[in-house]
A = this chain, B = another copy of it.
C-alpha cells in the first residue's frame, strides 16, 4: 500500500473519524483507524460500541500507487498528522507491519495493528432516507440531548426519542425531572419511524455537522440508524425498549403565563443559584409572582446567605400569583435552548410541571418539574 495526499485533507477527515475512536476498550483494534485505499478513493473507518464512522475521500490530491487495507493506532496517527509540517504526506507500508509517513523533513514509522482483526462493519443505507436540513438537525440536537438522563439506571432515558409521522418529526428527551420536546416540519412525507438514539451519539453527530453542507439523510434499520452527511456516514446503535409516553405529561391549560426577557431571567437565576439551598448537587431557587406583578427570584442558604432578585415581566401577566421552587441548573439549561429573546413561562399550579416556550421558537417546549419545599 502506497499513496500520497494533501495533509490538510486527510487531517480534517481524521478529526471527524476520531469521534468514533474507543479510548477505553479491551479490543485494541477498536482503538484503530482502518484505512482502505482504492485507485481513486481513501476510506477511513472507525467504530466504538455506540457509533461507527465511514468517510470516503475522493480528493484530487490523492495519488494511489498501490491499493490495500491497513489498521493504524488511532490516537497516535491523528496526533502525528496534527503535528506534521508540509503540504503533502506520503504513506507506504514497510515489511507488512509498519506504516511509513513522510512529510516535510519528517520521517515517521508507525507500528500497525493486524487489519484482519478488524470487524466487518456494515453501514446500512436504504433507498428512501429522510431528508432534513443539517442546521435544523443540529439545533434539534442542541435543544433536546441535554435533558436526557446522564445515569444508566433507566437506560432508555439516556436516549432521545425521535418519531417521524408523515411530514412531521418530533424529538423528545427526559430524565424524568424535566423534558425537552421539539417538533419540526419535514420537507415531505416519509415512512413512520419511532426510535431511541443514545444522546451521546447525537452529541457526537452534532460535532460532525460542521461542514458547510445543506442536507443530512437519515437511513433507518432495525438495530441502527445511519446519518449520511456528504461523504461521511455516521451510524449509531439504537436503544432497546419503549420510550415512556410523555404526551400527557405536558399540561395544556396554563392559568398563569409570564413573559420575560430571556437574559434578564437567566442572570437573575444564575445569581440566585450562587447562594442557594441544595438538593444533592442541585441549587434550588424560588420564583414568586408578587401581587404587584413583579417576579422575585430568591434563594437562601442558611450557612452562606441569601439572594433576592427582582425581574420585571415584559407584558401584562396572565394570572395572579404563584410561588414555585426549581433546580436553577435545569431552568438555565432550558433557557439556553431558545433562540428567542423573549420567552413565556407557563404555570398550571405550584406542584405541577411548568413549561417554557419561546416567541420565535415554534415547536419547542421545555418542561420542568418543580421541587417541593416547605
B residues within 8 A CB of A305?
76, 98, 108-111
Q: Is residue A306 contacting chain B, with contact meaning CB distance below 8 A?
A: yes
Residue of B with least CB distance to A79: B274
Instruction: Report the Cα distance A171→B245, complex, angstroms.
Output: 69
Q: Is residue A80 contacting chain B, with contact meaning CB distance below 8 A?
A: yes
B residues within 8 A CB of A309?
105-107
- Which residue from B76, B274, B306 sits with its C-beta under 8 Å from A304? B76
Q: Is residue A371 contacting chain B, with contact meaning CB distance below 8 A?
A: no
Copies in the complex: 2
- Which residue from B73, B76, B271, B311 sits with its C-beta under 8 Å from A83? B271
Does B308 lie within 8 Å of A76, measured CB to CB? no
Min CB–CB distance A77 → chain B (angstroms): 10
Instruction: Report the Cα distance A304→B267, complex, angstroms.
Output: 50
Instruction: Report the Cα distance A13→B311, complex, angstroms.
Output: 29
Does A80 lie within 8 Å of B274, measured CB to CB? yes
Instruction: Report the Cα distance A307→B98, complex, angstroms.
Output: 12
Does B80 lie within 8 Å of A308, measured CB to CB? no
Residue of B with least CB distance to A301: B111
Does B304 lie within 8 Å of A111, measured CB to CB? yes
Does B111 lie within 8 Å of A311, measured CB to CB? no
0/1 string, A95-120, CB within 8 A of B gives 1? 00010000001111111000000000
Instruction: Report the Cα distance A195→B374, complex, angstroms.
Output: 60
Q: Is residue A84 contacting chain B, with contact meaning CB distance below 8 A?
A: yes
Min CB–CB distance A189 → chain B (angstroms): 49
Does A268 lie within 8 Å of B111, measured CB to CB? no
Min CB–CB distance A47 → chain B (angstroms): 21
B residues within 8 A CB of A106?
268, 271, 307-309
Question: Can you list the 4 inter-chain pairs with the closest CB atoms, starting with the nearest?
Answer: A110-B305, A105-B310, A107-B308, A109-B305
New A-B contacts (19) at CB < 8 Å, excluding given A76-B275, A85-B267, A105-B310: A76-B274, A80-B274, A80-B275, A83-B267, A83-B271, A98-B305, A105-B309, A105-B311, A106-B268, A106-B308, A107-B307, A108-B271, A108-B306, A108-B307, A108-B308, A109-B305, A109-B307, A109-B308, A111-B303
- A: which residues have CB within 8 A of B? 73, 76, 79-80, 83-85, 98, 105-111, 267-268, 270-271, 274-275, 303-312
9 contacts between A and B (CB under 8 A): A76-B304, A79-B274, A80-B271, A80-B275, A83-B270, A105-B310, A107-B308, A108-B271, A108-B305
